[in-house]
Structure 1
């Protein structure tokens, strides 16, 4: 039974971008040993041959010339009604044009092990997978209301921001400062401990199940009760002959994250400081859970691609 490996991170803890740099670096820490050789061979030395630094690349380039096309791939605009207690993500309704995170995960999964592609294309595909498996766990990356919270003004620790940024960065950074010694590496260590022997241990098998909580994706070939491993194997087996079709797992993950929009994310009082109130206390368990969950799923995702099984404890 393999153990999760904590990859070293070369760059200093920084502040700025989505699910913060801290959030994505934390997701990037979770990589099981069987995929380690591929990561070290694929990620460039400028990123320390590690998923930690590489995990934020897709956020850094999405506004650069020639990369603007990638912006819609970071989210799915769920056209639901969270303020009315009605949360949902639907493949056809919310990603009918295929330009969203649900299809992007399937697309780059097929590319990352495609030997006909250049080393640069494969490296980019890996970085996109890491980014998108993190993004899909952030509740406001799977919500259309007020542009995923970007158009809702907010305060975090006395600073003016917006609701999306508070979730992407502000509360993640404060959580790390308050509860993990100000270190993203310590935060990752703490989440791994919870996965291996703590409060998350009994949950991990369910994290790899992809049973839809609503309607299954149309054209899905999964047998009832199938899991992440079955889904990836089917996708890779069919890639040579079929158009990329929606996957069940990303839809389920988006639905899970989106459900928090109805219970936690929009449950605030106008004008309150989101990082010094009960709102923050209610948000931290969600942040911890979603980052741990998606990190674990990332490790499983890469292991299945390169070793044929999840290989996780």
Structure 2
């Protein structure tokens, strides 16, 4: 770890949380994950994070977003996404060499902070920050517009939601997830997670769950990158199939709270469930491999 990175991590240790996927969405991913981690993983991360409550993952799930908006954490802003320079809705694809800029991207960041946790040689403060980053990025990578370059991941596509002005990215981060959960609170996240856990354990996702983590590996940097690229590629595909299926003109300056949301909700449900389950197995693998 470079001296700059170490100092930047230390300076971030006390910052509060903020929004992205919607904080509620990130919390839901974390609650799903906390249901599926092993007892050893739960003990490890509760100890590392200094929180023995059931909220130990959810309480830090959005921390990385407040950090990125600080002077010390500005360097981490590119870590929340990968700019897929594809051509939606005609074609969607992610290419690491093409799309991960010199300042980094979510695939490289997830790999880097995972390696820090496995190595275990950083200070406790830095290990805590690495954990918070991994928890957050495992959620971000499931948001399709975090894996798309077009119009700054949809941030410059103006839309409306229930009559309010917003942008396409924000609609996917917050409005559509909240239309499923019924709100933006921690209790909304818990309730949504409970529903998703039921679907994973015994419902419509049961037959899919093992496939979500097929090939998952933290055995090496390349294995970590390969897994993260698989997640990013799956997420990016929804830009063509759902997010921008009709092109920019189909959503720009339109109110998305009706039929568009009805179509998007199953994708958001799936991605939150999927990344929560994957986060659990990723954290399990980290603890198993930690030195």
Distance 1:285 1:159, change over 3 A: same
1:266-311 deviation line (CA, Å, top 9, x unaligned) = 1344433112x11000100000000000000000001111136xxx
Question: Quick one: distance in 2 between partners of 1:189 and 1:145?
Answer: 34
Cα distance, 1:114 vs. partner? 2.9
Change (3 A) 1:46 1:60: farther
1:26 aligned partner: 28
**1:290 lines up with 2:271 in the alignment:** yes
Q: Could you list the runs of 4 or more consecutive aligned residues of structure 1 that deviate by over 6 angstroms after TM superposition?
A: 46-49
Question: Which residue of 1 is the match for residue 175 of structure 2?
Answer: 170
- Aligned equivalent of 1:115: 120
Equivalent position of 1:78 in the other structure: 84
Shift of 1:36: 0.4
Q: 1:253 aligns with which of 231, 239, 245?
A: 231
Instruction: Name the counterpart of 2:162.
Output: 157
Deviations 1:164-198 (A, max 9, x none): 000001111121118x9x72111000000000000
Report what 2:108 is aligned to: 103
CA RMSD of the aligned region, Å?
A: 2.4
Structure-2 separation of matches of 1:60 and 1:113: 25
Q: What are the residue-to-residue correspondences of 1:1-313 with 2, within 5 Å?
A: 17-29=19-31, 30-31=33-34, 32=37, 33-45=39-51, 50-83=56-89, 85-95=90-100, 97=102, 99-177=104-182, 183-209=188-214, 227-228=215-216, 231-235=217-221, 247-267=225-245, 268-275=250-257, 277-307=258-288
Normalized against structure 2, the TM-score is what? 0.85
Name the structure, 1 or 2, with higher relative contact order (CA <8 Å, separation 6+).
2
Mind listing any 5+ residue stretches in structure 1 that lack a counterpart? 1-14, 210-226, 236-243, 309-313
Q: CA deviation at 1:157?
A: 1.6
TM-score of the aligned structures, taking structure 1 as reference length: 0.79
Q: Secondary structure at the match of 2:269?
A: helix
- Is the helix fraction higher in 1 or 2? 2
- Which blocks of at least 5 consecutive residues in structure 2 are unaligned? 1-16
What CA distance in whole angstroms lies between the structure 1 residues aligned with 2:91 and 2:277?
Answer: 28
Partner-residue secondary structure (3-state), 1:148? helix
